[in-house]
Amino acid sequence: MGAVTFDFSNEVALITGGSRGLGLEIAQAFGAAGATVVITARREQWLGEAKQMLTDQGVTVHTFVCDVADAASVEQVVQQTLEACGKIDVLVNNAGLTWGASAETMPLEKWHQVIEANITGTFLMSQHVGRHMLKCQKGAIVNIASIAGLGGGQRNTIGYNTSKAAIINLTRSLALEWGAQNVRVNAVAPAMFRTRMTEAILQRSEAAIAAATPMQRIGQHGELAPSVLFLASEAASYITGQVLAIDGGKTAE
């Protein structure tokens, strides 16, 4: 894949769940494009490792522990970010959970955990960052959804599938509410990429998943972040309320 260049110099990008996997890839991409990067995670250890990696790459980075499903935690992190950086230009809602179980055996506790992290977390972070963006009359939010939210998704991930569908409609609703204030809200809907969350599924089913994809493979490192940067950039200044599938053609079937 050829290099895709965006310029986020003098901008601040906040990425939730940015310490590993796709979130870290997105943070690296914003940093390489000149942004000051703020990443959150649930564990200090994960943040320490990610901060060292980003710093070694020349990225200006701030890290904060945050439970995105907890309103007080979200409010605190947004305030800390504004105190450290002065503004938030871009929010990427990447933090999320899944739990493998059939619908009939899904523990209610795990259902609540997935729904709270994925839906409530995306709402709370958008709400608190959105208040700042509305005051500035400018901002871009990119939600990490999934093609599981566009259809039934994989079996035995009922909470994840449901939550990602909700994130897609949340994206559209926020775009309608905030468009007049120049706050754009879009989403990307990845198919299967190799991350810590998908490791167990890929160990069992990578060949079958690839065979069921028109491009005959799963997503590779570096193939998601450019689309996130595009939607956050001025190149997408007239795009809001949209969901971009990054899926090797899967949803074209």
Catalytic residues: 160
Residue 61, strand partner residues: 37
What does the alpha-carbon distance between residue 90 and residue 88 come to, in Å, rounded to a whole number? 6
What does the alpha-carbon distance between residue 9 and residue 17 come to, in Å, rounded to a whole number? 22
Pairing of strands 36-41, 90-93: unpaired
**C-alpha distances in angstroms, 239 versus 13, 62, 140, 233?**
18, 29, 10, 10
Give φ, ψ of 143 to 5 degrees. -95, 140
Q: Which of 196, 182, 142 lies closest to 26 in space, CA to CA?
A: 142
Q: Which two tokens stand for residue 70?
A: 């907890």
**C-alpha distances in angstroms, 162 versus 9, 112, 149?**
37, 12, 7
Pairing of strands 139-144, 12-15: unpaired
Check: CB of residue 201 under 8 Å from CB of residue 173: no
Q: Which two tokens stand for residue 100?
A: 């493998």
Q: Which two tokens stand for residue 118?
A: 């994925």
